[in-house]
Amino acid sequence: MCRMNSPVEALARHPGTLDEHYQHVRATTVDLIRDLQPEDTVVQTMPDVSPTKWHRAHVTWFFEWFVLKTHKPGSRAFDDAVHYLFNSYYNTAGTMHPRARRGELSRPTLAGVLAYRQHVDAAMCELLESDLAGDEIRQLVTLGLQHEQQHQELLLTDIKHVLSCNPLQPAAREKLELPLSTSPDAYEFAPGATGIVSVGADGEGFCFDNETPRHDALLHPHAMGKRLVTNGEYREFINAGAYREPQLWLSDGWATINERGWNRPLYWDEALETEFTLGGRTETDDNAPVCHISYYEADAFARWAGCRLPTEFEWEHAAAALAAEGNLLGSNAWHPAASGTSQYFGDVWEWTSSAYAPYPGFQPLDGSLGEYNGKFMCNQMTVRGGSCVTADDHIRASYRSFFYPDARWQFLGLRLAKDGHV
């Protein structure tokens, strides 16, 4: 029987085999919150935010429910109440505690959640070393690890919102490694491809079902911005009175900013001089990419600049030729960084003008896992590229994430595009 390595040991090992990768991902989740206090982990500040404790339990429930329950004979459930408390949205798997009330879950305690993780990790370790670990199990475990990496990002963006609401505005991590600020070049455009191109997952390595099937898309003449829009450029938009100009805004966007009183990105102060980060409040770097803006704000900025947002297929085709690397979780910055690069990967998720919808011929996974992506293909917008808190081995050009157009608590920013040839 194998043992789970300590978080330090697991993080130090390069994940090779699936059991090593399992240990590495699970240890990363632990390491991300090493500087938090127990009290930090139980707070919920809005319905979109889940407590850190809940995230740690939910990703564990995923392995217990979808892997151990079905594929490890004689597997003992840790606690029957866990299923109701930590199921997220799988209606076919049974009832669940309401998302907006996860902050009420003072029990199980944090110690109880840690015991739950240890229980499941021990069982998973046995399974991965057994003769039962065939292709089906390995595929499920891989999906579970990708799922946990998604929640690592959510854990950090959620705790950022939690700590920002605390009058003390404490840091989630005291020592982060922000690179030196680099002045960006003037905003320029590069010609994009025109005609029929192939998009979607190419069959190499892991992908989610919403990245399939690979298919043809028609690209009209267009140009893509060579970099992300910066804080300094967004401040010009604010100072120009754009939040008071209805002609720049979609109808729903205009209604939203007035209803909620938005006049700047989330986490910026009223003077537009500082912003809250995972390292605490700091001076806003005008050279860094703007983030924590909604689709409505990104779209309005693009209109104000005489441009538009790219479609998700324009974005994917431009990014497909590039290495999927950048300011991601492994950089230990946990914040968008000023850079002279194209920044297609990392820093901020980039809003596109594309509604989150199924590809032609899309088929969700069988069973409860079919609820993972497909049922959310309504009323949401597609974002691409990952962010400064996306796991380094979790992103690729075909990766599609999605948010409602009023979402701002994620690291969401923009790149400009425009019609015609440059």
Residues 262 and 404 in one domain: yes
- Please report whether residue 256 resides in a domain: yes
Whether residue 12 sits in one domain with residue 83: yes
Structural domain of 30: 7-165
What pLDDT does 1 receive? Answer: 44
Mean pLDDT of the residues in the chain: 93
pLDDT of residue 3 exceeding 70, the answer is no
Instruction: Report the C-alpha gap between 382 and 218 in whole angstroms.
Output: 18
Distance between CA atoms of 251 and 219, rounded to whole angstroms? 27
Report the Cα 387 to chain-centroid distance in Å: 7
> Chain-centre distance of CA 68, in angstroms?
26
Tell whether 209 and 123 lie within a shared domain: no
Query: Could you tell me if residue 184 is inside a domain?
Result: no
Which whole number is the average pLDDT over 208-232? 97
Residue in the structure block whose two tokens are 């003769």: 131
Count Cα neighbours of 5 within 13 Å in the Cβ-side half-sphere: 19
Are the beta carbons of 249 and 257 closer than 8 angstroms?
A: yes
The phi, psi pair for 382, rounded to 5°, reads -85, 140
Whether 309 is in a domain gets the answer yes
CA distance 176 to 51: 22
Give the number of domains in the chain: 2
In a domain, 131, yes or no: yes
* 218 and 157 in a common domain: no
Confidence of residue 75 (pLDDT cuts 50, 70, 90): confident
Q: Are 289 and 336 in contact (CB under 8 A)?
A: yes
pLDDT of 359 above 80: yes
Number of H helices and E strands in the chain, helices first, is: 11, 11
222 and 148 belong to one structural domain: no
Residues 158 and 204 occupy one common structural domain: no
Q: Tell whether the model's pLDDT for residue 381 goes beyond 60.
A: yes
Which of 133, 165, 197 represents a domain boundary (last residue)? 165
**Two tokens, residue 350:** 């980039």
The reply to whether 194 and 161 lie within a common domain is no
Question: Cis omega before residue 221 (within 30°)?
Answer: no
Residue type, 94: G
Q: For 88-134, write each residue's pLDDT tens digit.
A: 999 998 999 999 999 999 999 999 999 999 999 999 999 999 888 88
**CATH assignment at residue 151:** 1.20.120
Chain segment 14-48, per-residue pLDDT in tens: 567 899 999 999 999 999 999 999 999 999 999 99
pLDDT band at 6 (very low <50, low <70, confident <90, very high): low
Q: Do residue 140 and residue 204 come from a single domain?
A: no
CA distance 56 to 26: 9
- Check which CATH number belongs to the domain holding 209 and give it: 3.90.1580.10
The answer, yes or no, to whether residue 181 has pLDDT greater than 70, is yes
What amino acid occupies position 183?
S
Q: Is the pLDDT of residue 12 over 80?
A: no
CB 192 within 8 A of CB 180: no
Say whether pLDDT at 5 is over 70. Answer: no
